[in-house]
Homo-oligomer: A and B are copies of this chain.
Amino acid sequence: MKAVIITIGNEILSGLTVDTNSSYLGRELAAIGIPVVWKTAVGDNPSDIIEAADLGLKAGDLVVCTGGLGPTSDDITLNVLSKHFKQKLVLNKSVFEYLRSRFAKRGVEMPACNLKQAMVPEKAKVLFNSQGTAPGIMFRFKHKKLILLPGVPREVKAIWQEGIRSGLERSPGRRFILSTVLRTTGIPESAIAEKLTALEKTLNPGVLAYLPGQLGVDLRVTLHGADRKSLDKQAGGIIRKMKTALKHHIYGSEGQTLEEVLGLILKKKKLTLGLAESCTGGLIGDRITNVPGISRYFMGGIVAYSNRIKEKMLGVRAQTLVKHGAVSAETVREMAQGAGKIFKSDIGLSISGIAGPDGGSALKPVGLVFIGISGPKGIKVIEKRFLGPRRQIKEMAAQAALNELRLYLGNGSK
């Protein structure tokens, strides 16, 4: 079974939108053993959409289209393709009811143009969209399958996970691609490569990939084969060797976030946390509270953007601020202690730095960040320097703070 992906939308051709749907679908299809053999993008016009669909059905057994299912007049995918493939559109009552209840829940009456989205091909399978109003559509044409999905990435993901994936997993003739990821942070790509030199010599080319990102390097192991079990075994062996070589630099596996790992550690050790953020402005608290159920361990935070607040709420001494400045080891030390005290938490985590673009000096340049941790193992202060624009410095600083807390709590990869 081979797949073709067609992305529909003028904004894709003009480059105003980066097409992440087709990469997502490519990975998902590969993961269940259905390779994508061709991808194409066309604008919102009937003849190009039809030509792409015809070519797609020649090249593959499964054609997945994204885009153009919205309620407005520039969304023409369903009308064009159902006409071309002689699918009669009828009003689908359950879609209609779902749309109406969706609007009702928000206390809004359903606009007339959304009615269009309840018109689906009579013989199609309707794919429920828990994230939006446009349902996905699946229909057959001459023993081949077409799937139409909306263009909003989170809707594509939801429909795929909830309504398509498991069905395709049962189709015959698949070849497996197994892919696992280990996540690292706080160590540069080249240092990882040095630690993995010996292992890499034993691997075929393409098996190990470095995926460097702003907040860390992900390491992906990819194996191909017809037997899922033997692939799992092979991958397990490689992963074990990587863990031995990289130790605490690995914080998690595919899809796991640093804050999730930290949440697990706090839960396991039954420790509570209070925050005192300055340069990150709330980003650390935001990340920590992405973890469901964290309210039992996370007490709260203070975004102390002014010196007055650092002094008044966190109890940083005036003389510390005067003598060492707001961005200093001494200040984050007292901020961390203050956070622990005010939130009555086992741990106080603090951060202060210069996010830029202004406010730097020769002695304290933009990107200088101090992290303070106060807790059962005493007080630890870490100095870091980051390069980049304001947002990037904030993100790297928050990542470093979460990672330093993970290391302070003595929990490496497992």
Contacts and interface: CB of A to CB of B under 8 A. Distances in A.
Interface of A: 7, 10-20, 22-30, 35-45, 48, 70-74, 102, 105-108, 110-114, 131, 152, 154, 177, 179, 188-191, 193-194, 200, 205-206, 208-214, 220, 222, 275, 277, 279-286, 288-290, 292-293, 295, 298-306, 308-309, 313, 342-344, 355-358, 385, 387-388, 390-392, 394
A17 B391 CA distance: 22
Nearest to A342: B313
- For the complex of A and B, 3 pairs with smallest distance between CB atoms: A15-B26, A281-B289, A282-B285
Contacts of A45: 206
Contact of A74 (B205, B358, B388): B205
Given A39-B40, A285-B282, A177 B17 contact: no
B302 A194 contact: no
Given A36-B13, A211-B17, A206 B299 contact: no
A309 B342 CA distance: 9
A205 B73 contact: yes
A256 to B, nearest CB: 15
Q: Which of A220, A282, A313 counts the most B-chain CB atoms under 10 A from its CB?
A: A282
Contacts of A211: 11, 16-17
Main secondary structure of the interface of A (DSSP, over half): mixed
12 contacts: A15-B26, A15-B30, A16-B209, A18-B18, A39-B42, A74-B205, A111-B188, A292-B390, A293-B358, A302-B302, A302-B303, A303-B303
A155 B406 CA distance: 29
A22 B40 CA distance: 11
Contact of A14 (B48, B214, B222, B342): B222
Contacts of A284: 282
A38 B38 contact: no
Given A282-B286, A392-B154, A358 B292 contact: yes
A330 B191 CA distance: 54
B305 A309 contact: no
A281 B288 contact: yes
Contact of A222 (B10, B73, B200): B10
A300 B302 contact: yes
Given A189-B71, A282-B289, A15 B10 contact: no
B305 A298 contact: yes
A200 B17 CA distance: 21
Contacts of A295: 305-306
Nearest to A387: B105
Contact of A281 (B39, B71, B190, B286): B286
Nearest to A355: B289
A108 B188 contact: yes
A189 B155 CA distance: 15
A99 to B, nearest CB: 10
Contacts of A12: 23, 26, 39
Contacts of A210: 70, 72, 74
Given A14-B36, A285-B285, 9 more contacts: A13-B36, A14-B179, A16-B209, A72-B189, A281-B288, A292-B390, A301-B303, A302-B302, A308-B344
Contacts of A209: 10-11, 16, 74
Given A15-B27, A15-B30, A36-B13, A299 B305 contact: yes
Given A222-B10, A303-B301, A41 B43 contact: no
A200 B73 CA distance: 9
A190 B131 contact: no
Nearest to A293: B358
A237 B293 CA distance: 51
Nearest to A152: B212
A39 B13 contact: yes
Contacts of A41: 22, 38-40
Contact of A300 (B15, B24, B303, B394): B303
